[in-house]
Structure formats: structure tokens, C-alpha cells
Amino acid sequence: MIDRDLATLYGVTTWHLKRQVRRNLERFPPDFMFELSKEETKNWRCQIGISNSGHKMGLRYPPFAFTEHGILMLSSVLNSKKAVQVNIAIMRIFLKLRRLLLAHKDLALRLERVERNTQAHSKQIQTVFEILRRILAEGKKPKKQIGFHP
């Protein structure tokens, strides 16, 4: 997500958000946050419709882009009531996701066991059918007839 969207989400100004990030750069490694290059900023401006790249009406500085981990870290460096609420909500969401993943993991393990059992049963059923075919094939042999043959 881009810094200005996150500033709105956290109830702070973009300037304040960027200042807090710069003061806490050790908390934001490259896989948490990065600053858009000039070319990326130019392309982004075109996509969102900001035409004044050098004036006050447009963006004067390249925005910061945050990954999901950066968003989490950002909520811990900002000191607004909304940032605290967002941080708590994010933690709750991650807990729910973890529970869901664990539930799905259990289901996947059960499904795998059923699949293994089915494969074992399939082999056993094939063996039974092969034995039945042999018995039926032996039963089709012509028997010697007893008695008078014309």
C-alpha cells in the first residue's frame, strides 16, 4: 500500500507518517517498505491522474510503498488512537487466519489419510477381481462327458 492511503487509514497526515518511518528506519527493512523510484512515481502519477508532477498540487516526493509486514510495523510506530485500533484489528485478523490455516491443515491431513486408504483398498479390490477372473476362467474349461457320445 502507498503511504498516503495508509495515512488516511491510520488517521494521520502523510507527512507525519513519513517522518515516523524515517525516525524508525531500522524497523523497516527493504522487504517491509521501499520508496518508489522516479520512473515508478511517474508511472503511478499517470495511473492515478496527477498531472502536475513539479507543483504543489501534485506529488513532490516519491511515495513509500509498504508490504503487509511494513503495514504491521507502521501501526506500531504511529501514536494515534486509530493506529492502535488498526494494530489490534490486524493482530486479530492474523490470529483468525492462523486458526483457519490450522483447520485446513487438519483437513488436508485427513484427506491424505483417506486417499492412502482408498489406494490400498483399490489394490486389494483389484486382487480380488483377478482371483475371481481366474476362478471363472477355470470354470469355463470343457469337462469330459460321461456316458454315450453320438
For 81-149, the three-class secondary structure string (H helix, E strand, C coil) is HHHHHHHHHHHHHHHHHHHHHHHHHHHHHHHHHHHHHHHHHHHHHHHHHHHHHHHHHHHCCCCCCCCCC
Q: How confident is the model at residue 19 (pLDDT cuts 50, 70, 90)?
A: very high
pLDDT at 149 over 70: no
Looking at the structure of the chain, the number of domains it has is 2
Residues 51 and 88 in one domain: no
Q: Which residue has the higher pLDDT, 148 or 77?
A: 77
Q: Which residue has the higher pLDDT, 76 or 59?
A: 76
Phi, psi of 56 (to 5 degrees): -65, -25
Is residue 143 situated within a structural domain?
no
Residues 119 and 130 in one domain: yes
Residues 33 and 88 in one domain: no
pLDDT at 57 over 50: no
